[in-house]
Amino acid sequence: MAGGAALFRQGFRPFFLGAGLWSFIALALWLAALAGGIELRSAFDPVIWHAHEMLFGYAGAVIAGFLLTAIPNWTGRLPLSGAPLATLAALWLAGRLAVATSDLIGAAVAALLDLAFPAALLAVVLREILAARNWRNLAMPVALGFLLVANALTHLDVLGLVASGGFGLRLGLVVVILLICLIGGRIIPSFTRNWLVKQGASTLPAAFGGFDKAALLVSVVALLAWLLHSHGLATAALLLLAAVVNFARLYRWQGLQTGSQSLVWSLHLGFLWVPVGLALLGLAALPTIDVAETAGLHALTAGAVGAMTLAVMTRASLGHSGRGLSADVPTTVIYVLVAIAALTRTVAPLATGLFEALLWTSGIAWLAAYGLFTLHYGRILLAR
């Protein structure tokens, strides 16, 4: 009972715990299906189900936990808690179960249940932003609106109404990566500066400014070009330019000085996957270079999304539960494991002779990272 009361006291608690559990369960099911051990009872194609659940299931929960925790600080309004928060978490869980069993309950019912959560989250976030006239963060409900549309497009495809599933997944990935570029550009230099000041460092990260805004604009244009036409010289040039400017942003944040504190360098390592992924997508878009697009896709998903979300979830769980902002050994191991998972999954399509071995290495490392996160941080998320 006490754990339940604590779980719904702050937005990060149910959603970070749910995200960790679902990332572990969904990938375990995917690997079991890949090995032929089970048959998924989803109306989604198994590959599409895997991508859908990592984007709209896992990443959707992390985004919800982050926003519901950050928005009260942005607006000065009371946080969502208690029964309303529990209801929102229940909608997210219902969506996961509905999509997983959509072959049994029907694709239309599954679509309604799954889309109820992002629609409700959008309504809550939009209400808070508008009530506080917090125009600076209006981009958040806009992003949630695009995520809702992207998710709906995947369901329309499964229902046989529009051949839009691939576009929906790509749109969802574009939105999540742009959120990482925007939010990462705020929190990484800020958290790094705070830590470096305590260490007495003389060189501090560049604050969010004109260069970051220009880099965000380049990133938006490049990813929209990729979304609309994933191949060609123009798309490749834009993606490679976006990779360069985002790497330059990262360099300006002084991550090389943070090697002694994994709670800080994990953020830099997570963001590093953004320029790596953009560069690989750019190379894949070139007609004269044989680079598998899936390498770039997994650099952005397993790498940027996986590593950045774990870095944010661990830090926020410690800070907002009143614990010290210092990583212990299990936390550092989590970061190393997800880095191994991302690296091996990104390299796998580029090393065809080792593809299967690297794929399974990535899967095992991912399960270990999220299993350890759930066990280690579950106690924090459930504690009073």
pLDDT per residue as tens digits for the range 50-84: 999 999 999 999 999 999 999 999 999 999 999 99
What does pTM read for this prediction?
0.95
Tokens of 249: 């942003």
DSSP 152-165: HHHHHHHTTS-S-H
Angle subtended at Cα 4 by Cα 3 and Cα 5, rounded to the nearest 5 degrees: 90
pLDDT (tens place) for every residue of the chain, 384 residues total: 344 578 999 999 999 999 999 999 999 999 999 998 899 999 999 999 999 999 999 999 999 999 999 999 999 999 999 999 999 999 999 999 999 999 999 999 999 999 999 999 999 999 999 999 999 999 999 999 999 999 999 999 999 999 988 999 999 999 999 999 999 999 999 999 999 999 999 899 999 999 999 999 999 999 999 999 999 999 999 999 999 999 999 999 999 999 889 999 999 999 999 999 999 999 999 988 889 999 999 999 999 999 999 999 999 999 998 898 889 999 999 999 999 999 999 999 999 899 999 999 999 999 999 999 999 999 999 987
What are the Cα distances from residue 66, in Å, to 160, 164, 228, 324?
34, 29, 29, 19
pLDDT per residue as tens digits for the range 277-300: 999 999 999 988 889 999 999 999
Angle between helices 107-131 and 139-158 (to 10 degrees): 170
What are the Cα distances from residue 168, in Å, to 100, 212, 225?
18, 27, 15
The contacts of residue 378 (CB under 8 Å, 6+ apart) are: 17, 20
DSSP 86-133: HHHHHHHHHHHHHHHTHHHH-HHHHHHHHHHHHHHHHHHHHHHHHHTT
